[in-house]
């Protein structure tokens, strides 16, 4: 009887658990599990307080009569709640000139923001999806234009418009607002990431023209970015002060920024001994309400527009 040697399989050694010397695994922080910091929370609270205190002061003082405004504490309410009376006086003072300033501002903002946003979208799409001679050089020009503050160009623009004879007209305010280098750069970045090249080539094969491709294919894809640029242009033109100040001399064409400042320059009196600080405060409050409404109503669009193109696949 022959004996055979059998092979016995040796069991695999058990997996060793991490030794204490290795230490615990480092915790990973993500957007869903952020790292909490007391310092950041405190700084955020201070910044929020810095932004909210002037707003609270403005709202409180807009509810006061002129007598309460000069005699009461700034962050305390007066003896009378006169918000509605102040609003009525704002729209009736100086034969209702505030309404004319408001309509002028709406005109400047609507035309300027819409045209500048459309031109920025058109130029950004062309720079992102078309290859032409001088494309790199144009990029340097755009970046250089962003670095130049608008106030530095106000005097040369005034001299140029004076030669053309269009100062003291709405065109002197509208034409400079049509050019938005920062909006053009944003749309360039957004279009490069949001509009697929394959979709553009398919539209060309189907016989669509370049402008039709832009309007019917690219523009819907650029909606978040368009709203972002539109909102930035809206705020910039609404708050524009220096350019209208040097371009306009006729009070009938003033925007709200210049008009309210003219009320403030009246000193503490309106010429007949009537104090008007309460009208200046109430007019300032009415001026910022459209900006708050615009930000709240378009918040979800411009937030997604800011994040679009920030992360590349």
**In angstroms, what is the C-alpha Rg of the chain?**
30
Q: Which two tokens stand for residue 310?
A: 């920030």
User: Is the C-alpha dihedral spanning 21, 24, 25, 31 positive or negative?
Assistant: negative
CB atoms within 10 A of CB 104: 22
Q: How many residues does the chain have?
A: 313
Which homologous superfamily is 87-307 in?
MetI-like (1.10.3720.10)
Select from 285, 287, 293 the least CA-distant residue to 254: 287
Q: Is 185 helix (H, G, I), strand (E, B) or coil?
A: helix
CB atoms within 10 A of CB 269: 11
pLDDT for 307: 54
Select from 48, 104, 54, 99 the least CA-distant residue to 247: 104
Is residue 42 packed enough to be buried (19+ CB in 10 Å), middle (13-18) or exposed (0-12)?
exposed
Every domain range in the chain assigned CATH 1.10.3720.10 = 87-307
Kindly report the pTM of this predicted structure: 0.79
Which ranges of the chain does DSSP label H, i.e. alpha helix?
Answer: 38-61, 66-71, 83-92, 97-129, 135-147, 150-164, 171-177, 181-194, 197-205, 210-213, 219-221, 223-238, 242-247, 256-265, 277-297, 299-307
pLDDT tens-place values along the chain, 313 residues long: 444 444 445 555 555 555 555 555 666 556 566 666 788 888 888 999 998 898 999 998 888 888 877 787 878 787 888 889 889 999 998 888 999 999 999 999 999 999 999 999 998 998 888 887 777 788 788 878 888 887 888 888 999 999 999 999 999 999 999 988 888 988 988 888 888 888 888 988 888 888 898 988 888 888 888 988 998 899 999 999 999 999 999 899 999 999 999 888 875 555 555 667 888 999 999 999 988 888 888 777 665 555 554 444 4
Residue 58 CA to residue 72 CA, distance in Å, equals 14
Residue 279 CA to residue 266 CA, distance in Å, equals 12
């Amino acid at each position: 009887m022959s004996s055979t040697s059998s092979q016995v399989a040796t069991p695999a050694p058990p997996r060793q658990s991490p030794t204490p010397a290795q230490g615990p695994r480092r915790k990973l922080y993500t957007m869903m599990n952020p790292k909490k910091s007391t310092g950041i929370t405190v700084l955020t609270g201070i910044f929020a307080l810095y932004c909210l205190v002037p707003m609270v002061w403005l709202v409180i003082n807009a509810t006061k009569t002129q007598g309460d405004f000069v005699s009461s504490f700034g962050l305390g309410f007066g003896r009378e709640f006169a918000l509605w009376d102040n609003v009525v006086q704002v729209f009736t003072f100086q034969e209702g000139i505030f309404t004319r300033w408001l309509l002028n501002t709406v005109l400047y903002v609507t035309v300027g923001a819409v045209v500048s946003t459309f031109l920025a979208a058109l130029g950004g799409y062309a720079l992102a999806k078309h290859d032409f001679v001088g494309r790199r050089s144009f990029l340097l020009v755009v970046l250089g234009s962003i670095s130049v503050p608008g106030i530095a160009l106000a005097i040369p623009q005034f001299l140029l418009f004076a030669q053309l004879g269009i100062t003291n007209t709405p065109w002197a305010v509208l034409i400079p607002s049509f050019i938005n280098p920062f909006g053009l750069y944003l749309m360039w970045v957004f279009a490069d990431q949001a509009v697929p090249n394959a979709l553009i080539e398919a539209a060309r094969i189907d016989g669509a023209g370049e402008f039709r491709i832009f309007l019917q294919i690219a523009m819907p894809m650029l909606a978040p970015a368009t709203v972002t640029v539109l909102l930035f242009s809206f705020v910039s033109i609404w708050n524009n002060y220096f350019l209208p100040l040097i371009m306009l001399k006729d009070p009938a064409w003033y925007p709200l920024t210049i008009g309210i400042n003219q009320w403030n320059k009246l000193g503490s009196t309106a010429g007949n001994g009537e104090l008007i600080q309460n009208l200046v405060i109430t007019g300032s409050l009415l001026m910022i309400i459209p900006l708050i409404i615009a930000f709240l109503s378009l918040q979800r669009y411009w937030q997604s527009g800011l994040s679009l193109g920030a992360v590349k696949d």
